[in-house]
């Protein structure tokens, strides 16, 4: 097969993995393959941040997306060129449900203006809060010269935000085997009053954790602007009694921090663990550590993610039991994909209120939902309620499952194709709506003489409605379950082509 034909075939294959929306042609959501869709799933939608590690691997657009369990987009919000949107989820702010995300540019070989470590955020990154109408209501920024880092953004019941910031600190790396004139990526935990912007709490890794404990190689002395990332702090969780639970990927360790003093209470894993960790509970390169209870922690165990050098290192969701009195850690439950996944970058595991868990497999290119019992490496097909595969090289940093009511302010979109013999095909969508149950098509020969033609059930993101009417004037009303009009499209004057 010639190169030109191969290029055409690749382009066709790519287009098959993107939703072709007549009503929103500027939106290019990825299509996922739903492999498993069983009863028992938690109510709600999946919250994803589709992106790829390189532009060549990307299918569709870098974005955030709310998705139903049929794989249909519910809300799709693409990023601008050279911009990423990460860590997309629902939270509560001032008693109201909101959407939160990080938006900025990450250092990548194709676009980075200076040689920062891969994935470091560039200046200008920001955390954002959107209301149920998909309006931006607040920006939150890291302070004290730190750049807002995408790995964490938590809203507390106090109306504050706990975030991560990142800053390159000049450092003599010679005592670690690197150059004298180097830099260390220093991560900070900051709590900020969302309303006033006041910085209420500050903690940084370099002041409390010895970088010599890192498993990350020190940059070579010949590297231009050598920057070492010994910590790679990638999650924060508020714990009991004024404590914080931190996950540091390149330390292979979890830390419990006294928020009042800043001191480390204990460390699990890594080179200087305070706990005896059972062999089946050992984790590495982990993400997304969360308290399930005061003595139970969930996390995503990347487990090196390297099938060539560590064929036993299958990635998994992991829940551990922490016995602080006897300083022991044991496995509580595990969550394996039904085919082994070896996940290098990214990944996360979130806990639903009904006991289910959603796992975003990061560079494993899958999202799964599990019953709360989990499964084992020898019984991987049990308790998997949902699984979907992303196209191409698309992945999501984390994945969440939650209920959401979306009330978009913009009008529904309409497109019409006329057929001289068969009437018209009416296409309709409303980006972000969760309350629309039916579409009512109204049409007529004049814009002021229209009447109802047909009412149909809403299907997927964009519904196609075939009508035995050539209009040429059409509009569509969005109806809720009780037949109330939620919104109306603009009137469309359709023409034959």
DSSP 169-235: EEE--GGGTS-SSEEEEEEEEEEEETTT--EEEEEEGGGTS-GGG--SPPPPTTSSS-EE-S--EEE
Alpha helices in 425-486 (DSSP H): none
Single residue among 349, 383, 402 that ends a domain in this structure: 402
pTM here is 0.94
Residues 223 and 243 reside in one and the same domain: yes
CATH number for the domain including 432? 2.60.40.10
Q: What sign does the CA torsion over 463, 469, 471, 473 have?
A: negative
The answer to whether position 313 is within a domain reads yes
Residues 332 and 477 reside in one and the same domain: no
Q: Nearest Cα to 90, choosing from 304, 322, 358?
A: 358
* Those residues with Cβ within 8 angstroms of residue 205's Cβ, 6 or more apart along the chain or in another chain: 186, 187, 188, 231, 233, 248
Single residue among 402, 426, 452 that ends a domain in this structure: 402
Residues 66 and 156 reside in one and the same domain: yes
Residues 303 and 444 reside in one and the same domain: no
**What does the pLDDT read at residue 1?**
55
pLDDT over 90 for what percent of the chain? 85
Could you report the per-residue pLDDT of 368-385, keeping only the tens digit for each? 999 999 999 999 999 999
Secondary structure (3-state) at 7: helix
Residues 287 and 370 reside in one and the same domain: yes
Could you report the per-residue pLDDT of 171-212, keeping only the tens digit for each? 999 999 999 999 999 999 999 999 999 999 999 999 999 999
The answer to whether position 22 is within a domain reads no
The answer to whether position 53 is within a domain reads yes
Binned at pLDDT 50, 70 and 90, residue 35 comes out as: very high
The answer to whether position 107 is within a domain reads yes
Q: Beta strands of 336-459 (E only): which ranges?
A: 348-351, 357-360, 366-370, 384-389, 400-402, 413-419, 423-429, 438-444, 451-457
Secondary structure (3-state) at 10: helix
Residues 126 and 95 reside in one and the same domain: yes
Residues 454 and 392 reside in one and the same domain: no
Q: Nearest Cα to 51, choosing from 425, 428, 430, 397?
A: 397
Provide the number of structural domains found in the chain: 2
Residues in the chain: 497
What's the rounded Cα separation, in Å, for the pair 273 and 283?
A: 12
The answer to whether position 258 is within a domain reads yes
Give, for 146, the enclosing helix (H) or strand (E): none
Distance set, CA 84 to CA 61, 120, 214, 287, 396 (Å): 10, 12, 28, 19, 11
Higher pLDDT, 325 or 496: 325
| Euclidean distance between the first and the last CA atom of the chain, given in angstroms as a whole number | 37
The answer to whether position 250 is within a domain reads yes
Could you report the per-residue pLDDT of 206-253, keeping only the tens digit for each? 999 999 999 999 988 766 678 999 999 999 999 988 899 999 999 999
The answer to whether position 65 is within a domain reads yes
Residues 397 and 428 reside in one and the same domain: no
Strand partners, 287: 300
Give yes or no for residue 450 having a pLDDT over 90. Answer: yes
CATH number for the domain including 36? 2.120.10.30
Residues 71 and 177 reside in one and the same domain: yes
What's the rounded Cα separation, in Å, for the pair 200 and 156?
A: 13
What's the rounded Cα separation, in Å, for the pair 186 and 464?
A: 52
Residues 363 and 435 reside in one and the same domain: no
The answer to whether position 353 is within a domain reads yes
Secondary structure (3-state) at 243: strand
Residues 99 and 213 reside in one and the same domain: yes
Identify the domain containing residue 458 by its residue range: 413-493
Could you report the per-residue pLDDT of 267-283, keeping only the tens digit for each? 999 999 999 999 999 99
Could you report the per-residue pLDDT of 126-161, keeping only the tens digit for each? 999 999 999 999 999 999 999 999 999 999 999 999
Residues 167 and 282 reside in one and the same domain: yes
What's the rounded Cα separation, in Å, for the pair 424 and 474?
A: 10
Query: Alpha carbon 175 to chain centroid distance?
Result: 38
Single residue among 402, 421, 446 that ends a domain in this structure: 402
Mean confidence (pLDDT) of the chain: 93
What's the rounded Cα separation, in Å, for the pair 303 and 274?
A: 20
């Amino acid at each position: 097969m010639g190169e030109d034909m191969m290029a055409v075939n690749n382009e066709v294959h790519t287009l098959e993995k993107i939703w072709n929306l007549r009503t929103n042609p500027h939106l290019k959501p990825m299509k996922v393959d739903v492999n498993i869709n069983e009863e028992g799933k938690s109510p709600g939608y999946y919250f994803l941040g589709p992106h790829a590690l390189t532009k060549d691997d990307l299918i569709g657009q870098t974005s955030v997306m709310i998705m139903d369990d049929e794989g249909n987009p519910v809300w799709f919000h693409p990023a601008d060129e050279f911009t990423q949107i990460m860590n997309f989820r629902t939270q509560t702010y001032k008693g109201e449900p909101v959407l939160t995300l990080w938006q900025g540019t990450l250092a990548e070989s194709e676009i980075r203006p200076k040689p920062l470590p891969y994935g470091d955020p560039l200046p200008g990154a920001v955390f954002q809060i959107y209301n149920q109408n998909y309006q931006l209501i607040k920006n939150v920024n890291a302070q004290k010269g730190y750049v807002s880092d995408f790995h964490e953004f938590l809203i507390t019941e106090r109306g504050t935000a706990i975030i991560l910031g990142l800053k390159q600190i000049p450092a003599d790396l010679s005592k670690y085997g690197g150059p004298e004139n180097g830099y260390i990526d220093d991560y900070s935990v900051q709590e900020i009053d969302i309303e006033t912007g006041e910085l209420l709490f500050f903690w940084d890794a370099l002041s409390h954790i010895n970088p010599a404990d890192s498993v990350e190689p020190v940059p070579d002395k010949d590297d231009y602007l050598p920057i070492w990332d010994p910590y790679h702090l990638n999650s924060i969780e508020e714990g009991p009694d004024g404590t914080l639970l931190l996950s540091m990927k390149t330390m292979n360790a979890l830390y419990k921090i006294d928020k009042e003093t800043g001191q480390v209470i204990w460390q699990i894993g890594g080179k200087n663990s305070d706990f005896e960790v059972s062999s089946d509970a050992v984790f590495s390169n982990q993400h997304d550590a969360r308290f399930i209870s005061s003595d139970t922690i969930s996390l995503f165990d990347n487990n090196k993610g390297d099938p060539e050098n560590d064929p036993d290192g299958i990635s998994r969701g992991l829940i551990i039991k922490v016995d602080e009195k006897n300083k022991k850690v044991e496995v509580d439950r595990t969550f394996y994909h039904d085919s082994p996944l070896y996940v290098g970058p990214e990944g996360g595991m979130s806990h639903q209120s009904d006991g289910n868990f959603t796992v975003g497999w990061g560079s494993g290119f899958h999202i799964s939902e599990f019953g709360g019992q989990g499964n084992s490496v020898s019984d991987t097909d049990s308790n998997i309620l949902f699984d979907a595969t992303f196209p191409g090289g698309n992945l999501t940093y984390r994945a969440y499952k939650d209920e959401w009511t979306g009330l978009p302010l913009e009008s529904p979109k309409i497109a019409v194709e006329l057929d001289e013999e068969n009437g018209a095909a009416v296409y309709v969508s409303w980006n972000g709506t969760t309350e629309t149950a039916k579409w009512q098509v109204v049409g007529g020969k004049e814009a002021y003489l229209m009447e109802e033609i047909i009412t149909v059930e809403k299907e997927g993101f964009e519904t196609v409605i075939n009508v035995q009417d050539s209009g040429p004037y059409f509009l569509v009303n969005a109806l809720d379950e009780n037949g109330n009009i939620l919104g109306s499209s603009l009137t469309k004057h359709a023409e034959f082509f």
